[in-house]
Amino acid sequence: MDDHFPHLISGLFDHPVAAEAILEEIPTALILLDARRRIRYMNRAASALTGYGPQEAKNIACHNIVRTRAYLKDSPVSKIAPDSGPVCVQSDLINREKLRIDVRITMIGLFDPAGRCLGYVDAIEDLRGTAQPQAQMHPAFGFAGMIGKSPDMEHIFRTLPLIAGNDSPVLITGETGTGKNLAAMAIHENSGRSRGPFVKINCGALPETLLESELFGHCKGAFPGATENRQGRFRLAHNGTLYLAEIGDMPLTLQARLLNLLDNNTVYPMGGSRGFQVDVRVIAGDHRNLEQMAEQGIFRKDLLFRLNMVRLHLPPLRQRGDDIGLLTDHFLQQFSTAFGKDIREPSPEALDLLKTYTYPGNVRELRNIIKYAVNICRQHQIEPRDLPAYLSSNIEPAAGRMEHDTRTRQEPPGTVSASFQPTAEGAATWAETEKQMIIEALVRTGGRRNKAAALLGWGRSTLWRKIKQYQIQ
């Protein structure tokens, strides 16, 4: 047990019991706060829900960790008094992975006999598993956030509940941007684990040592800088689902550890000899050909066999026919509302451009194209001039000309500005177009990378990676 919450409960049992031993096993997210609503302790379920570890969150204002409107506007905390009882609100939060999660928050005030506030206990219930499945509400158009009516997608919508109904590992394949994250969440939310945590980690986003610590945890002193015990993602996902995105980027040494964990359900933290039993369903995803990687010796065949017990392949957008129009309408409504605009539809000419493009970035690329168009559109209808210039130049982004099972991870276009246009010939490649977008964003923000990332509609780490990739000084 970690030493950061050593308090004991005395008088209830024959011997004192560590409070943490009880709080850690409660499946509801619990956060203990002082009178100024700074976090003093959060249990494993709260860490899994928010994405922040207990030591990262300690002494931080609660609204900076639990990012919910319930804490920022007309906060119900002001209604808590010694005789008021708990206050319950339904809202949503944005976690560290930038996922929006519907939650129910119960806030309890702690007062001394004189009525002075000592602190608070916030219990946060994840409501994702209690919502009516989208397939039941709109059976012809989607399932759990995924949208489509093409035969391929209808087959997937019929298959997902069957996959969710068992507990086997799942391997989700498909080109970048096809919706592997959404499919993993759909499986979790429609499974018997829906009340447990859904934890995601991108295996390609971290160096090997840090990835090992993030997955399996570490003990104090395991390596320089390990000043405390840390639970890994497997323990955070106990009784829930762990999604391993870009599983092909996992180093071979960690693949061996993962295979061992799948066989015996025991996690051994770095630097520790004591194992912890976990009950976790593993879902893995990748856009590459893992069979080919296994033949090349860069992915373990035995791990592939273990993960490949249930396989779900998502089709590229160019093979989904009328889904392009359906998704265009969905994203147009979404971003028109978000940006406070009254844009009703694309013009026939704009829609023709959208339907004839091949989308190497798939649904993610279409989403960002529509976001870009809504940003710069000045009328009630999107015209071809509002779309990125490369759509009308008939020049695919560079990634689109590569083999589909070895596609690069180029991000789709962002939302730089209304005045941005590629070079005269529409830019020779998407890479050149993207590089120009980054340079313009940096110029417009005076070199401030955080603001440039926001302008492009990317995360900060994505911008840093692309600046390095394109060697932008």
Question: Distance between CA atoms of 273 and 51, rounded to whole angstroms?
Answer: 26
* CA atoms of 162 and 164, how far apart (whole Å): 5
* pTM of the model as a whole: 0.67
The stretches in the chain having pLDDT less than 70 are 1-6, 73-74, 129-142, 393-433, 457
Domain 317-391 carries which CATH code?
1.10.8.60
For domain 8-126, the CATH superfamily is PAS domain (3.30.450.20)
Write the CB contacts of 32 (distance below 8 Å, at least 6 apart in sequence).
39, 40, 41, 42, 119, 120, 121
Q: Which among 185, 188, 214 is positioned nearest to 201, based on CA atoms?
A: 214
Strand partners, 30: 123
Lay out the sheet containing 280-286: strands in order across.
Answer: 198-202, 240-245, 280-286, 170-173, 310-313
Q: CB neighbours of 165 closer than 8 A, spacing ≥ 6?
A: 191
Q: Which two tokens stand for residue 28?
A: 């509801």
Q: How many angstroms separate the Cα of 15 from the Cα of each of 10, 12, 160?
A: 7, 8, 48
Distance of CA 376 to the CA centre of its chain: 27
Residue 299 DSSP one-character state: S
Q: What's the CA gap between 282 and 263, in Å, rounded?
A: 12
Look at strands 276-277 and 266-267 and give their pairing: antiparallel
Question: Are the C-beta atoms of 204 and 249 separated by less than 8 Å?
Answer: yes
Domain boundaries, the chain: 8-126, 142-313, 317-391
Token pair for 83: 């005789």
200 phi/psi in degrees, rounded to 5? -120, 145
Q: Is 271 exposed, middle or buried (0-12, 13-18, 19+ CB in 10 A)?
A: middle
Query: What is the model's pLDDT at position 244?
Result: 95
Answer whether 236's CB lies under 8 Å from 48's CB: yes
Report the C-alpha gap between 368 and 363 in whole angstroms: 9
Determine the pLDDT at residue 67. 87
Closest by Cα among 465, 415, 468 to 444: 415
Q: Measuring CA to CA, which residue among 189, 180, 171 is closest to residue 135?
A: 189
Task: Select from 1.10.10.10, 3.40.50.410, 3.40.50.300, 3.60.70.12 the CATH code of 142-313.
Answer: 3.40.50.300
Measure Cα distances from 61 to 3, 34, 39, 64 in Å: 22, 10, 6, 6
Distances (CA, A) of 351 to 326, 336, 370: 11, 17, 11
Q: CA-to-CA distance for 414 and 453, rounded, in angstroms?
A: 9
Q: How long, in residues, is the chain?
A: 473
Q: Cα-flanking dihedrals φ and ψ of residue 145, to 5°?
A: 95, -15
Query: Identical fold at 8-126 and 317-391?
Result: no
Give CA–CA dist 22/5, Å, rounded. Answer: 12
How far apart (Å, rounded) are the C-alpha atoms in residues 385 and 399? 23
Number of C-beta neighbours around residue 461 at 10 A: 11
What are the start-end ranges of the H helices in 273-384? Answer: 290-295, 301-307, 323-338, 348-356, 362-376
Measured between alpha carbons, how far is 447 from 343 in angstroms, rounded to an integer? 32
pLDDT tens, residue by residue, 18-75: 877 788 888 889 999 999 899 999 988 888 888 888 888 888 988 888 888 877 766 7
Both tokens assigned to 232 = 């890994």
